[in-house]
Structure 1
Amino acid sequence: MRRVASSALWPRLRALQIYGANTGVGKTIFSSVLCAAFQKKLRRVQYVKPVSTGPLDEADDSHISAFGSGIKSKTLYQFDEPVSPHIAARGSSLPISDNEISVALYDELKSYATGEDGIAIVETAGGVLSPAPSGSTQADLYRPLRMPTFLVGDHRLGGIGSTISAWESLHIRGYDVQSVGLFAEGRYENAAYLKDYFAERNIPSFSIAPPPEPAAARDEDIKAMKAYYESSSVNAEVIGFVESFLKAHDKRIEDLREMPKQATEAIWHPFMQHSERNEGNVVAMESAYGDYFQTYTKQKDVPSGAGQEEKALLSPAFDASASWWTQGLGHGNPQLALTAAHAAGKYGHVMFAGAVHEPALTLSQTLVHRMGNARLSKVFYTDNGSTGMEVAVKMALRAASKRHGWSPEDNVEILGLIGSYHGDTMGTMDCSEPSIFNKKVEWYQGRGHWLDFPQVKLRDGQWVVEPPKSMRKTVGKTRTFNSLAEIFDLDARRADWGRYRSYLDAELWHLRQQGHKFGALIMEPVILGAGGMMFADPLFQRCLVEAVRGIDPNIDNAKAVDGQGADKDWQGMPVIFDEVFTGLYRLGRFDAAGFIGADPDIVVNAKLLTGGLLPLCTTTASEAIFEAFLSADKSDALLHGHSYTAHAIGCSVANESLATMSKLSQSDDWAGFRQDWKASLAVQETKDVGKGSTPWSMWSQSFVETVSRKPNVDYVFAIGSVFAMSLKDPAGSGYASTAATGLRDRLFAGSRAGEPVIHSRVLGNVLYLMGAMTSTPETLKGVEETVLEALSR
């Protein structure tokens, strides 16, 4: 896999990063003082300057070498021009990426981890937000290593504000600032003010005397500076910081090692049989950044002997489940963090009953506009996908019951698909057929009827649409296709369309003859997620919408399907699309409904809505659904809400997330993904497939096809950021199958020391992988290579 930097944490090597509130605040002076102070406690002290600009003889590591006795120093990237790194790097023959620098720094620190007590002082360049060679900020460049930080404050006029701003910039990015130090300049009294300010935040601070003025003779200057460093290194507050830092390092490790055990004592985990849980199989996530968790497990914590290379305590693990499908813009995304902080500072949380704030209004308008569904007009806010679906069902059942004159005593059901799952609340569980998720829940009743459906699969390099056995007499046997795009060319599949409509019309007629009253059709468009990652034939789903709306199959009445006609009212029964998982770019486009060319009356969105940062859900409904709750009686209103309904922080982050993903959809990386899949498209690029663009995936065609031919793989599919493989299991498929657990465990164990591992989830015999919207082709290629290797073992 592509190398990425891990959190820099070893048991006996301590790493301390020095940041400055600004340029010229004395970072190198403080680094020298701390090197000298640590040298009195530890055997090995190393100074590292990752990036330096200016003449070599003026470099900071030269200063350390000149004044620090026995202290080794090194600069990793030196640019001769004395300008900001992003300007100096322009003369480099090759661009220097943030990942290249962070990996180089990690490897340098790793070389010092020899099983002996030591410390590495890592000094940054300029201020906290000064540019890196790539143009990003230093705070973002070094964030993957998450080293404990010492902030050198600004002792000059205006330094109070710049020091506090620098600390806030680090804090909001997840850094742990251990202490703040600055020169004791009496004129502005910065040190006294900042000591009180940071004490309130449980951050110790101290000041030391400024260095002596440069002497005329170099020998005298060196002598004076050495004396200064010696006296400063025994300063009581400096010694106090050194001792507290060493204790904090040991406590950080102790806490990390104890977390799995303490979790087994205090936490009830979701979706886990706790008779199988122990401290050895609980993964402690120390932090996360970008595509990766920083993970600790008991099994990988192997003590190193003296003189041996010390094993890092934390391993980067690719987040292959996108953190239960929420991750869109990378963990620790600084822009989302800043957006959340701004909204927190502006609003905190304000109640939403009979009120409005700009973030919620903007988000509502954006969703209604971007969905392009003329039926939709009103947005209702909840906290998560389960509750959003609960609201959707309430909406649909009220509208259907009111129109048809059904009473509360009538047994009103929902119509859905076999294998679907819409949430863990009591109401939404009743909208799914009996399964491992719900059938042992005491109040579960299963209020509905569920239809089986044809599935899209890539098996042995061949795309197929495979009907279930119960449908084959009516719709025929498995169909083969030249490409995924050909499957999505719905208008060209007239023969399939006719067979599907005949089957569905007959099924619905029989159900109605049996007395079923359906208050809603509920569907996950394209992919059924929690039920087992099943790829439904989009044409079948479109035909199902047509059938429940009573559309005459012999005339052209597509407007009744997509809501573009003058009549935007629902027909037959309200149609709910559960896009909690599949919506908002997960499948490569803004909404999943467009793939099947049918617009719902109600659509639910969550997961990617806030880019993986906060829980938030929207249920967007048509005007006709909304009007079903209007009357002069308060009891007829939709009496549903949450304390944090439409919380301003979540809405603000959602607006930022959607805007960012919209830009990503036009990015060069996404263009490359599309180009990879375009090569085998049977449909012209200019031709609409369904209602949207041709399907593509972030996972390469060659990888998907190669996996599909593996002897232990039944079938695979890929679309957008989603890849799923179904492994063969002689004992039978389904959620209770353990066929995929071995592969999951091999991916997390890794095969090469020092390389990232893959943290994945399984659904029975199905193992799935997802990228974030920001995952790069290089990252995903590395994941692909690791998966192929694991499948061969």
Structure 2
Amino acid sequence: MNWIEKDRELIWHPFTPQKESPEPIFIESGKGSWLFDEKGNKYLDAISSWWVNLHGHSHPYIAEKLYQQALVLEHIIFAGFTHQPAIALADRLIPLLPGDFSRIFYSDNGSTSTEVALKMALQYWWNKGTTESEDSPTPRRTILAFNNSYHGDTFGAMSVSDRSVFTRPFHDLLFDVCFIDTPTSGNGGELDNLLEKEGQKIAAFIYEPLVQGAGGIKLMDPRLLNGVLEKVKARGIICIADEVMTGFGRTGRLFASDYLKQKPDIICLSKGLTGGVMPLGITACTKKIYEAYLSDDRKKTFFHGHSFTANPLACTAAIASLELLLEPAAREGIERICKLNVVFEEKLKEKYESRNVIKNTRVSGTILAFEINTGEDVYLNEISRIVTEKALEKGVYLRPLGNTVYFMPPYCITENEYGFLTKVTEAILDELFP
């Protein structure tokens, strides 16, 4: 069978123009840092297949654990039933989370984990009936978020994301949100004024700690973000950390919130949670949030769930991935990428940024990014397609966000493989700007 022909006939791919889009590459297998197509070509997976793969493709330890679990229990409804993988994952993960977390709510992916967090925070105030401030009886209903943010593609997640090409057809259907700029040394007054006027109406603040992912790998100063959180928490506002991308070592530490003194009340996790093997989302909350749902009034129940909530196979993959992540090999891999990124960052600045070929070269742990200095800094910048095609021709899978090129490799990448990635990147820049 011609699988590509069947794909063209039957499949609708995500984030892909449906007219005159490049023919998809048929991937037959993956191993370690590499993907292999039906023609025998191989591609270095420099972006961890949309930031999900931590330990390399087809990891035998995770595969074996999945196999063993599939022979015992593949799925069961999670309302009224429970099972060992879900309990064991929560038991192992909660002590590692960046804050005083108490409970874990399972869902399916990053977008649903943020939906759960938003509903959890809003219903917290609804369950309480009033704000905690005695001088204001109005329930809090407003969400605060950063400009340039991205929290997913479901409607609540889109509402708290920056209005962009991702959300344009739905703008009139999204609920209103208070957006502020990410913190700089000179814009603290914006937040102060907003909190003074609207602080008693704001239910929650959702943010991507340190790195705004799909918005273009924009970095934040931990000290300044911590200042924002201090001010927001002082108003009793629930803080939601969207660590769907930054969680599980991407910024160098286990979680980006580990760099901050102020910890979230709710945290959203997915992507690397299962090592990129199975879809799973987690929304964890503190005891304070959970206790607002302890009531004899059944109307205060959190009426939210998914058919595949806490799927045993997904939870098993997450446990196996977490076990691998806590092994010395993963820590060494993270440290290796962090060091290699810093070295290549300096080379990029010296060789290309100095000539205005690229700009804003930056590193956050295992993440490296820069903008190609051509056209507008937007997602639809045509340079993305050009770079992706050139990289694939040379055996690397890169998928720039517009003109933002970034590395986010699996932690198993070797120094030689990383060197191959940098050589291909330099070759592309040399071809584009001889």
TM-score calculated relative to the size of structure 2: 0.91
Query: Which residue among 564, 575, 580 is the counterpart of 2:244?
Result: 580
1:506 aligns with: 193
2:233 aligns with: 549
1:719 aligned onto 2:357: no
Query: Which residue among 624, 637, 643 is the counterpart of 2:307?
Result: 643
Q: Are the equivalent residues in 1 in contact too, given 2:204–2:240 (CA < 8 A)?
A: yes
- Distance in 1 of aligned mates of 2:329 and 2:180: 34
2:393 aligns with: 749
Aligned residue-pair number: 422
What is the CA-CA distance between 1:274 and the residue it aligns to?
Answer: 0.5
Alignment of 1:146-225 (within 5 A): none
What is the CA-CA distance between 1:609 and the residue it aligns to?
Answer: 0.8
Alignment of 1:166-565 (within 5 A): 255=1, 258-277=2-21, 280-296=22-38, 313-374=39-100, 376-403=101-128, 405=130, 412-441=141-170, 444-454=173-183, 467=184, 475-476=185-186, 504-512=191-199, 517-550=201-234
- Distance in 2 of aligned mates of 1:651 and 1:417: 31
- Distance in 2 of aligned mates of 1:708 and 1:448: 38
- Distance in 2 of aligned mates of 1:634 and 1:641: 16
Q: Deviations over 1:713-743 (max 9, x none)?
A: 011212222111111134x212122233322
1:764 aligned onto 2:422: no
Aligned partner letter, 1:718 = V
Q: Deviations over 1:626-673 (max 9, x none)?
A: 111222232211111111111111111111111111114675545555
SS of the residue corresponding to residue 762 of structure 1 reads coil
SS of the residue corresponding to residue 638 of structure 1 reads coil
Q: Deviations over 1:200-255 (max 9, x none)?
A: xxxxxxxxxxxxxxxxxxxxxxxxxxxxxxxxxxxxxxxxxxxxxxxxxxxxxxx3
SS of the residue corresponding to residue 168 of structure 2 reads coil
Change (3 A) 1:698 1:292: farther
1:604 aligned onto 2:330: no
1:786 aligns with: 424
- Distance in 2 of aligned mates of 1:504 and 1:442: 24
Q: Are the equivalent residues in 1 in contact too, given 2:147–2:181 (CA < 8 A)?
A: yes
What is the CA-CA distance between 1:412 and the residue it aligns to?
Answer: 2.0
- Distance in 2 of aligned mates of 1:729 and 1:590: 35
Change (3 A) 1:346 1:636: same
1:559 aligns with: none
- Distance in 2 of aligned mates of 1:355 and 1:264: 41
- Distance in 2 of aligned mates of 1:520 and 1:670: 32
Aligned partner letter, 1:378 = R
Q: Are the equivalent residues in 2 in contact too, given 1:418–1:433 (CA < 8 A)?
A: yes
Q: Are the equivalent residues in 1 in contact too, given 2:249–2:334 (CA < 8 A)?
A: no
Q: Are the equivalent residues in 1 in contact too, given 2:341–2:367 (CA < 8 A)?
A: no
Query: Which residue among 589, 608, 611 is the counterpart of 2:253?
Result: 589
- Distance in 2 of aligned mates of 1:633 and 1:671: 50
- Distance in 2 of aligned mates of 1:533 and 1:671: 20
Change (3 A) 1:502 1:440: closer
Aligned partner letter, 1:717 = R
Q: Are the equivalent residues in 1 in contact too, given 2:341–2:366 (CA < 8 A)?
A: no
Q: Are the equivalent residues in 1 in contact too, given 2:53–2:410 (CA < 8 A)?
A: yes
Change (3 A) 1:521 1:670: closer
Aligned partner letter, 2:309 = T
SS of the residue corresponding to residue 323 of structure 1 reads helix
SS of the residue corresponding to residue 699 of structure 1 reads helix
1:140 aligns with: none
Q: Deviations over 1:516-562 (max 9, x none)?
A: 82110000101111122111222221111101122xxxxxxxxxxxx
Query: Which residue among 403, 407, 411 is the counterpart of 1:773?
Result: 411
What is the CA-CA distance between 1:377 and the residue it aligns to?
Answer: 0.4
1:634 aligned onto 2:272: no
What is the CA-CA distance between 1:768 and the residue it aligns to?
Answer: 1.5
- Distance in 2 of aligned mates of 1:336 and 1:316: 23
SS of the residue corresponding to residue 28 of structure 2 reads strand
Change (3 A) 1:379 1:722: same
RMSD between superposed Cα atoms in Å? 2.2
Q: Are the equivalent residues in 1 in contact too, given 2:122–2:140 (CA < 8 A)?
A: no
For structure 1, list consecutive stretches of 5 or more residues without a partner in the other structure: 1-254, 297-312, 455-466, 468-474, 477-499, 551-570, 674-696, 751-756
Q: Are the equivalent residues in 1 in contact too, given 2:382–2:402 (CA < 8 A)?
A: yes
Aligned partner letter, 2:174 = Q
Aligned partner letter, 1:745 = E
- Distance in 2 of aligned mates of 1:577 and 1:668: 26
- Distance in 1 of aligned mates of 2:179 and 2:335: 38
Q: Are the equivalent residues in 1 in contact too, given 2:150–2:214 (CA < 8 A)?
A: yes
What is the CA-CA distance between 1:413 and the residue it aligns to?
Answer: 2.0
What is the CA-CA distance between 1:400 and the residue it aligns to?
Answer: 2.9
Aligned partner letter, 2:360 = Y
Q: Are the equivalent residues in 1 in contact too, given 2:98–2:257 (CA < 8 A)?
A: no
Change (3 A) 1:666 1:272: closer
- Distance in 2 of aligned mates of 1:736 and 1:410: 40
- Distance in 2 of aligned mates of 1:671 and 1:735: 30
Aligned partner letter, 1:776 = T
What is the CA-CA distance between 1:327 and the residue it aligns to?
Answer: 0.5
- Distance in 2 of aligned mates of 1:648 and 1:522: 29
- Distance in 2 of aligned mates of 1:715 and 1:642: 41
What is the CA-CA distance between 1:441 and the residue it aligns to?
Answer: 2.2
Aligned partner letter, 2:113 = G
Change (3 A) 1:701 1:765: same
- Distance in 1 of aligned mates of 2:404 and 2:331: 31
- Distance in 2 of aligned mates of 1:517 and 1:438: 25
Greater Rg by CA: 1
SS of the residue corresponding to residue 268 of structure 2 reads strand
Percentage of matched positions with identical amino acids: 30
SS of the residue corresponding to residue 400 of structure 2 reads strand
Q: Are the equivalent residues in 2 in contact too, given 1:328–1:612 (CA < 8 A)?
A: yes
- Distance in 2 of aligned mates of 1:648 and 1:526: 32
1:729 aligned onto 2:386: no
What is the CA-CA distance between 1:582 and the residue it aligns to?
Answer: 0.3
Q: Are the equivalent residues in 1 in contact too, given 2:156–2:174 (CA < 8 A)?
A: no
- Distance in 2 of aligned mates of 1:767 and 1:343: 39
SS of the residue corresponding to residue 389 of structure 1 reads helix
- Distance in 2 of aligned mates of 1:438 and 1:338: 40
Q: Deviations over 1:561-612 (max 9, x none)?
A: xxxxxxxxxx521100000100111222211101122210000111111111
1:700 aligned onto 2:345: no
Aligned partner letter, 1:712 = V
Q: Are the equivalent residues in 2 in contact too, given 1:698–1:719 (CA < 8 A)?
A: no
Q: Are the equivalent residues in 1 in contact too, given 2:341–2:368 (CA < 8 A)?
A: no
- Distance in 1 of aligned mates of 2:13 and 2:421: 27
Q: Are the equivalent residues in 1 in contact too, given 2:110–2:244 (CA < 8 A)?
A: yes
- Distance in 2 of aligned mates of 1:672 and 1:549: 36
1:58 aligns with: none
- Distance in 2 of aligned mates of 1:672 and 1:519: 41
